[in-house]
Amino acid sequence: MKERILSCVRRALEHRPSPVLPDPLTLPSLSREEAVALFTERLSGNGGEVVRLPDLKGSREWLEGFAQSFSGAAVSRMVPPVLYPALPALPPEEAPLGISWAIGAVAETGTVLLSSREGRRTQLLPPTHLVFVPEETLYATLLEALQALKGDLPSAIGLHSGPSKSADIGQVMVRGVHGPGRLVAALIAELSD
């Protein structure tokens, strides 16, 4: 069957000129501070929340407060142990909070990049999704992020740019349809204590 389809394609293209493949379109890059500001503006605009934390110690302190309103959490195995909340560990199917460690983020679109290596259910099933983002992996543009990831692709990457939403019921925007209804990105400026 493959050969039959490919030979139909080959016959269709006989004597047809081949146009050149254009070079990728690039956008100007940004400084760290500009990227943080743009990421914050864009993800907030998409309905997400952004906090900026100085380092792992500061992140730990912030997390203690944040975690208080949850009864349990599913934590991805990529999250460093210092950022495990003082909450009962629950499977993603039951946890009110899922915690991820991003493999990158994109400022221009307000996006966090998530790897299947940490487990996909943690990213999708809990109603609130907290994603830690080391600022050194915050890219200005989607192109920069894709180029950085290309060498080492896991079985799946999820690009999340806000809470789950749908306008399929009478054109009214509804949040948390299937995926998390709340997305919180916590930028960590320096990965030191």
Partner 1 sequence: MRVRANEYPKESARVIREEPHVRESVTGATLNFDAKRRAAYAEVDSEQWRHFAEDVKNHVLMNLEHYLEQAATALERSGVRVHWAEDAEAAQRIVAALVREKGVRRAVKAKTMISEELGINPLLEGLGVNVLETDLGEYIIQLLEQPPSHIVGPAIHLSLEQIRRLFHERFGTPLDAAPDTLAAAARKLLRQGFLEADLGISGANFVVAETGTLVLIENEGNIRLSTSAPRLHLALVGIEKLLPRFSDLSVFLSLTARAATGQRLGTFVSLIQGPRRPDEIDGPEEVHVVFVDNGRSSVLADDEAWETLRCVRCAACLNACPVYRQTGGHAYGYVYSGPIGAVLSPGLVGLENTKPLPYASSLCGACFQACPVRIPIPKLLLTWRHRAVEEGLTPRFEKAAIKGYALAMTQPWAYRLASKALRLLPEKALDNTVVPVLQAWVEGRAGLKPSSKSFRELWEEGL
**Cβ–Cβ under 8 Å, residues 58 and 90:** no
Q: Which stretch binds partner 1 (CB under 8 A): 28-36, 82-90, 165-173, 184-192?
A: 165-173
CB of 190 to partner 1, least distance (A): 28
The smaller minimum CB distance to partner 1, of residues 13 and 89, is found at 13
Question: CB under 8 A: which stretch of 32-40, 59-67, 95-103, 112-120 binds partner 1?
Answer: 112-120
Q: Retrieve residue 67's tokens.
A: 């975690």
Residue 135 neighbours by CB under 8 Å, 6+ apart? 32, 36, 187, 188, 189, 190
Window 43-62: residues binding partner 1 (CB under 8 A): 46
Alpha carbon distance 138, 39 (integer Å):
8
Q: CA–CA distance from 8 to each of 12, 107, 110, 131, 169 (Å)?
A: 6, 43, 43, 47, 43
Binding site for partner 1 (CB under 8 A): 1-2, 4-6, 8-13, 16-22, 24-25, 42, 46, 77, 93, 108-111, 116-117, 119-121, 123-124, 141-143, 146-147, 150, 153-172, 174-180
